A = this chain, B = another copy of it.
Amino acid sequence: MEYSRVSSKVKATPSGATTPLAVLFDAYGTLFDVYSVGSLAEQLFPGKGQALAVMWRDKQIEYTRLVSTSNDGAHYQPFWDLTRAALRYACRRLGLNLLAEFESQLMNQYRHLSAFPEDREVLRALKDRGIATGILSNGDPAMLDVAVKSAGLEGLLDHVISTHVIRKYKTHPEAYALGEKACGCTASKIAFVSSNSWDALAATWYGYRTLWVNRQGLPFEELGTQPTRTGSSLHDVLDFFA
Give the interface of A toward B (CB within 8 A).
62-63, 65-72, 74-75, 77, 82, 85-86, 88-89, 92-93, 171-173, 198, 201-202, 205-206, 218-219, 221-225
Asked whether A93 lies within 8 Å of B218 as measured between CB atoms, the reply is: yes
A-B contacts, 23 of them at CB < 8 A, read A65-B69, A66-B171, A66-B201, A66-B202, A67-B223, A69-B172, A69-B202, A70-B172, A70-B202, A71-B173, A71-B205, A71-B206, A75-B205, A77-B224, A82-B223, A85-B221, A85-B222, A85-B223, A85-B224, A89-B219, A89-B222, A92-B222, A93-B219
Asked whether B223 lies within 8 Å of A62 as measured between CB atoms, the reply is: no
**Taking the nearest CB of chain B, how far is it from the CB of A50, in angstroms?**
16
* Complex Cα spacing A89 to B219, Å: 7
* Complex Cα spacing A92 to B220, Å: 9
* Complex Cα spacing A154 to B162, Å: 49
Known contacts A205-B75, A219-B89; A69/B69 CB under 8 A: yes
* Complex Cα spacing A223 to B172, Å: 20
**Taking the nearest CB of chain B, how far is it from the CB of A78, in angstroms?**
13
User: Which residues of chain B have C-beta atoms less than 8 A from A222's C-beta?
Assistant: 85-86, 88-89, 92
Asked whether B223 lies within 8 Å of A75 as measured between CB atoms, the reply is: yes
Asked whether B68 lies within 8 Å of A69 as measured between CB atoms, the reply is: yes
Asked whether B221 lies within 8 Å of A89 as measured between CB atoms, the reply is: yes
Asked whether A198 lies within 8 Å of B92 as measured between CB atoms, the reply is: no
User: Which residues of chain B have C-beta atoms less than 8 A from A218's C-beta?
Assistant: 93
Q: A62's closest neighbor in chain B, by CB?
A: B198
Asked whether A171 lies within 8 Å of B86 as measured between CB atoms, the reply is: no
User: Which residues of chain B have C-beta atoms less than 8 A from A68's C-beta?
Assistant: 69
* Complex Cα spacing A89 to B68, Å: 25
Asked whether B66 lies within 8 Å of A198 as measured between CB atoms, the reply is: yes
